[in-house]
Amino acid sequence: MNDLDILDAMAAHLDALTPPTGYAVRNVYATPPDAIAVVPSIVLLPGSDSISYGAGNRTTTLTVSVVAYLQPAGGFERKYRDLFEFRSWLRDSFRTGLTLSGASVQVSVTGTALGTDTWADQDYLTCTATTEATIVEMLAFTA
């Protein structure tokens, strides 16, 4: 399974979801953009993977950071409300699996973090969900 196919499917899934009430997700990027033009935007950042083999199958788990970039404007209460809304939304965003090329892809949120980041000299508030995308593929062994 191609990593870009998985990232594209995850981005399409997030783009199709209803965002938190009172918000509009402007862009969902499957790969990092040169700049984030508008916020809130979501960027998928792939990390490590793990692979295991079983009886005629291969299980690949791809770790992906799903980062919501938010505008760092307004008072503290507004900033934290934005972060908490997006954390709850990201935590629940992959409750249903993805189907990709006829294969089921299980995406699990394994943790979240709140913080800040600078992208192309612009400061943002961030909410990051660490996810694991797990794909089981059938293998045909030949001698």
Q: Is 61 a residue whose pLDDT tops 90?
A: yes
Class of domain 3-138: alpha beta
CB 97 within 8 A of CB 105: yes
Sketch the domain layout of the chain as residue ranges: 3-138
Instruction: Return the ∠ at Cα 89 (arms to 108 and 16), rounded to 5°.
Output: 85
Percent of the chain with pLDDT over 90: 69
Predicted TM-score (pTM) above 0.85: yes
136 has a pLDDT exceeding 70: yes
The answer to whether 44 and 25 are in contact (CB under 8 A) is no
84, two tokens: 């908490």
C-alpha of 40 from chain center: 14
Question: How far is 127 from 129, CA to CA, in rounded Å?
Answer: 7
**Percentage of the chain modeled with pLDDT above 70:** 98
